[in-house]
Structure 1
């Protein structure tokens, strides 16, 4: 059975990675682009945050991470819209380039933050150490949720949503679909970079390889949240994907408590995503099978 301490830690991580899920939700669901930039922009946010935090500017590190993360999204959008490169390939190219960029920013593969002041130590000075991480993550997530929901109710936000639904229709309505797609991807990667910045300060280090597999983690959070809580509106969706991230982290923590090796986490993540994606199909097959059995029994009774 998971301890209360481990449960709280899982919830804190879930909220931190919930920002990643919200960012990926924007690109994956709203803009309708399979954006693989995420692996690079997550590390980019962590790198910028760690370097500025080590220099004594933790809050500025978080804000700068969002700005530079949006530039990563802009690079991917530029390759897609202006250079006419396929979305998946554009994301891979940007992600690959960001590996070198992240190393340049950090100056070395790993930047430790032991002893440095972070946004969490600042919160701890107000509320104490016990709930400082939880409250800080919750506050940031609520701010981002509110900003995303309000933005996608504006005319520009509705245009971005329409671009993801039907790009041809948007173009016929004299809306610049390249611009709306670019803004959507910039926003998505800014929030992903924010997630990296928060996680780096929470874990007290940034590593050049910490972004590997973030797409899978984000998709797992999105699909778990949507399957359990639904996705009928933007508000419901951002809440669902954040709770999905928390549930995913609790599952991972429980698996680790059972003694599963740390190296198997990526395998577990892939299995969770596969099961979550195939859930509607499995339920449909199960219902059809039950219906057929019911029909067979009725047929047997009528013949008798």
Structure 2
């Protein structure tokens, strides 16, 4: 197929039709990114257990719905399950001294079996036709509105919490654990709290996503950490590019959601361009790598310009 026939085969309307769905998924995964933001940006903890806790949120929601529980009860229990998962990761790290990455991996592996035991099988359908759900892909416009309301509530709650004394100690622990410990802060306790909160948010997003797609699957969280990081990193780069030094905490939280939306729009473009679906994880890695490299490249460019400016200034003084 030559280049002309390739581009002529692309239907732009199909991309536009798929755009609302991409936006809805981007918001939901942006919510998951808020959980990753707590550990990755605030605590500087590489928590890989989110791949498991995301699926746990969906698994708990599905099995409780099937057993006749109201959706709000199912979602609250899913959040509690995610909180417990984060608690386990935190205790493995703080009490047993297991490195952060390994403690997350151990929890993630354990959660795979736990999720299978919760559901009894690898996949459970929860169609909007059979259950009263908060959100569903059957009505994309309403799904976008509901997802925006949910993330707005979570962002406000996070903004309030991390402005409290306990929330400030978590941010302090992530910024300078040695100084925080010297100030009398129990850094192990704050790490456990942060990990529990992070995985609670992740499980909540898993609950929302399972309702949106109409089923819970044991593999639905596979690669979730990469998508969460993509939302955080894309949002951070874009937010700093727009607001520069004026960017504050709540703007950073909002731009995590923006990052999730942009990531899914980018993936929508990749699929619209008829790229192989088997390579979606590869494209995800490339997108994240590009945005990870942007701050470093920008910093090098700025330093290079400053260096040249200094050299020119010295040359002018010598000539003068």
After TM superposition, the score normalised by the length of structure 2 is 0.85
Is the contact made by 1:28 and 1:34 (CA closer than 8 Å) also made in structure 2? Answer: yes
Q: Which residue in the other structure is 2:207 paired with? A: 197
1:150 Cα deviation (Å)? 0.3
- Contact 1:62–1:197, Cα closer than 8 Å, also in 2: yes
Secondary structure of 1:62's counterpart equals helix
Helix, strand or coil at the partner of 1:120 = coil
Contact 2:35 2:198 in 1 (8 A): yes
Alignment of 1:190-269 (within 5 A): 190-230=200-240, 232-269=247-284
- The farther-off stretch of 144-153 and 47-56 is 47-56
In 1, Cα distance between the equivalents of 2:299 and 2:42?
A: 26
TM-score calculated relative to the size of structure 1 = 0.90
Gaps of 5+ in 2: 1-11, 316-320
Determine if contact 2:236/2:256 at 8 Å carries over to the other structure: yes
Question: How well do the aligned residues superpose, as a CA RMSD in angstroms?
Answer: 2.3
1:17 alignment counterpart: 29
- Where does residue 162 of structure 1 map in the other structure? 172
Report the equivalent of 1:302: none
Pick the aligned partner of 2:102 from 69, 89, 92: 89
User: How far off its partner does 1:132 sit?
Assistant: 1.8
Secondary structure of 1:163's aligned partner: helix
Q: For residues 253-273 of structure 1, give each alpha carbon's deviation from its aligned partner in whole angstroms, at most 9, with x where no partner exists.
A: 111111122211100000011
Structure 1 residues 113-137: Cα deviation after superposition (integer angstroms, max 9, x where no partner): 133321126x99xxxx452211111
Distance between the aligned counterparts of 2:98 and 2:289, measured in 1?
A: 28
Q: Judge conservation of contact 1:80–1:87 (CA < 8 Å) in 2.
A: yes
**1:41 and 2:56 aligned:** no
Q: Deviations over 1:132-191 (max 9, x none)?
A: 211111111111000000000001100111011111111111121111111111000000
- Worse-superposed segment, 194-203 or 162-171: 162-171
Q: CA deviation at 1:55?
A: 3.1
Residue segments in structure 1 that go unaligned for 5+ positions in a row: 300-304
Aligned pairs (5 A) from 1:1-304: 1=12, 3-56=15-68, 57-114=70-127, 115-117=129-131, 118-120=133-135, 129=139, 131-230=141-240, 232-285=247-300
Structure 1's 130 and 70: CA in aligned 2 closer, same or farther, altered over 3 A? Answer: closer
User: Quick one: distance in 2 between partners of 1:235 and 1:287?
Assistant: 27
| Preserved CA contact (<8 Å) 1:53 1:116 | no
What's the CA shift for 1:32? 1.4
Alpha-carbon offset, residue 292 of structure 1: 9.1
Give structure 1 regions of 4+ aligned residues with deviation exceeding 4 angstroms: 284-296
Distance 1:177 1:4 in 2: 48
Aligned partners of 2:89 and 2:289: how far apart in 1? 27
Answer yes or no: is the 8 Å Cα contact 1:159–1:180 preserved in 2: yes
CA distance in 1 between partners of 2:297 and 2:174 (Å):
28
The Cα shift of 1:95 comes to: 0.5
**Shift of residue 19, structure 1, vs aligned partner:** 1.1
Tell me the alpha carbon deviations over residues 78-107 of structure 1, each in whole angstroms, 9 at most, x when there is no partner: 001111110000000000000000000010
**C-alpha distance in structure 2 between counterparts of 1:157 and 1:286, whole Å:** 35
